């Protein structure tokens, strides 16, 4: 299906975005592609200056750019304040989200008779749903998923293949969990008795809010007591570990391989880049931004950007790195000073003995 450029511009207005078309507004667009790959019936976009050069060579039928962006004169463009948000809207309109199988409840799924499943659910073959589970409307549950006893899952949730929910976990509405992620396994809770470790029963749960998306192969520990929380609107990438009893606030964004120890409190709208580690029992303030590979060893105040191991304010971390690179020069400066001072001392000694 193809859409005129003018129709796509119309779509943006529904998202409260204004835009201006420069070129043929009747051009027909059938899909979205990168500047490198796009052809004459495709629309592309520029939101990262790093790819600006590709404007000169792109074969795209149209390109979404910022209001200020300079472009080669032959290009048909769509100017708007936030090209990245605009392409999102255009992609949703043209491509939409993944279509899921509409199978109803497959008779080959193993569903405990005490489980309650809302209307319009697709529960595929090879799914296990244990006793006393409650699942809301429109669920899509792929093969190999295990939903443990007494879990409660809201409406419009998607569990991709081989997701595992341990007992008693709670998911809100519109939660998506990607393949292979595990929610509610026991945390690393042991009491040391001599050199041995005695297991502490992990009687808490995991509670996930609304509109949360969890990537693939993540592991979210249940709390020892109480709850591990992933609050509404938060998005995780892959291979993320969340320790027992930690609470992650609303609208956070965690990149792949982040690891949070136990009993950490993370505020709202915190971003953590790839491989960040946070030690136990810390508090990370709202809107904090943690750079990739940072090792957080202390509380982070709200709104602070930090980097490094241990993590410190990012400006200090950058200065540290540049000073590190100055160490060879500092070594030379010290050596030079030592020679000069020794020479001065010798000179003064000779003066004091000369007369």
Give the x-and-dash track for 288-327 against its own copies (CB under 8 A): ----xx-x-x-----------xx-x------xxx-xxxxx
192 binds its own copies (CB under 8 A): yes
Which of 22, 54, 173, 274 is in the footprint of its own copies by CB under 8 A? Answer: 274
Give the x-and-dash track for 143-172 against its own copies (CB under 8 A): xx-x-------------xxx-x-xx-----
59/326 with CB nearer its own copies: 326
DSSP character at residue 101:
-
| Rounded CA separation 86/80 (Å) | 7
Q: Is the preceding omega at residue 310 within 30 degrees of 0, hence cis?
A: yes
Q: Nearest distance from residue 230's CB to its own copies, in Å?
A: 14
**Contact region with its own copies (CB under 8 A), list: 20-28, 61-69, 113-121, 249-257:** 249-257
73/196 with CB nearer its own copies: 196
CB atoms within 10 A of CB 351: 9
Task: Tell me if residue 244 is catalytic.
Answer: yes
DSSP string, 23-73: S-TT-EE-EE--TTT--TTEEEE--SGGGGGGGGT---SEEEE-TT----T
56 binds its own copies (CB under 8 A): no
Q: What are phi and psi of 197, to 5 degrees?
A: -115, 120
* Count, residues in the chain: 355
84 binds its own copies (CB under 8 A): yes
Q: Nearest distance from residue 136's CB to its own copies, in Å?
A: 19
For residue 70, what are its two tokens?
């300079």
Query: How many whole angstroms from its chain centre is CA 162?
Result: 21
Give the x-and-dash track for 18-47 against its own copies (CB under 8 A): -------------xxxx-xx----------
119/324 with CB nearer its own copies: 324
Active-site entry in 100, 244, 269, 281: 244
- Window 105-124: residues binding its own copies (CB under 8 A): 108, 110, 124
Q: Nearest distance from residue 87's CB to its own copies, in Å?
A: 8
The β-bridge relationship of strands 19-22 and 28-29 is: unpaired
Coil vs helix vs strand at 86:
helix
| Rounded CA separation 88/85 (Å) | 5
| Closest to 116 measured CA to CA, from 136, 144, 102 | 136
Q: Nearest distance from residue 354's CB to its own copies, in Å?
A: 10
Q: Nearest distance from residue 29's CB to its own copies, in Å?
A: 13
Which residue reads 């998506």 in tokens?
Answer: 176
Which of 41, 52, 118, 126 is in the footprint of its own copies by CB under 8 A? Answer: 126
Task: Give the residue numbers annotated as catalytic, written as ranges.
Answer: 244
């Amino acid at each position: 299906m193809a859409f005129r450029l003018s129709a796509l511009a119309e779509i943006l207005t529904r998202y409260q975005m204004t835009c201006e078309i420069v070129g043929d507004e009747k051009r027909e667009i059938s899909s979205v592609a990168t500047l490198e790959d796009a052809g004459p019936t495709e629309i592309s976009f520029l939101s990262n200056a790093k790819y600006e050069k590709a404007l000169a060579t792109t074969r795209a039928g149209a390109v979404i750019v910022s209001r200020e962006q300079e472009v080669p004169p032959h290009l048909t463009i769509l100017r708007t304040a936030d090209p990245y948000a605009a392409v999102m809207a255009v992609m949703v309109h043209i491509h939409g989200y993944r279509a899921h199988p509409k199978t109803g409840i497959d008779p080959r799924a193993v569903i405990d008779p005490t489980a309650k499943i809302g209307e319009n659910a697709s529960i595929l073959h090879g799914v296990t749903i244990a006793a006393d589970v409650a699942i809301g409307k429109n669920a899509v549950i792929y093969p190999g998923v295990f939903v443990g006893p007494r879990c409660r899952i809201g409406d419009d949730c998607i569990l991709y293949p081989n997701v595992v929910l341990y007992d008693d976990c709670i998911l809100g509405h519109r939660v998506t969990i990607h393949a292979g992620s595990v929610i509610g396994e026991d945390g690393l809770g042991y009491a040391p008795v001599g050199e041995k470790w005695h297991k502490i029963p992990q009687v808490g749960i995991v509670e996930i809010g609304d509109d949360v998306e969890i990537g693939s192969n993540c592991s979210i520990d249940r709390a020892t007591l109480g709850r591990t929380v992933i609050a509404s609107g938060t998005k995780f990438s892959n291979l993320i570990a969340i320790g027992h009893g930690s609470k992650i606030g609303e609208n956070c964004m965690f990149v792949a391989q982040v690891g949070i120890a136990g009993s950490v409190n993370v505020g709202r709208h915190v971003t953590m880049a790839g491989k960040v580690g946070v030690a136990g029992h810390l508090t990370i303030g709202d809107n904090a931004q943690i750079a990739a590979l940072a090792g957080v060893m202390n509380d982070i105040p709200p709104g602070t950007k930090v980097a490094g191991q241990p993590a410190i304010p990012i400006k200090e971390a950058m200065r540290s790195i540049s000073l590190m690179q100055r160490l060879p020069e500092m070594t030379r400066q010290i050596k030079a000073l030592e020679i000069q001072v020794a020479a001065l001392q010798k000179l003064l000694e000779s003066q004091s003995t000369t007369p």
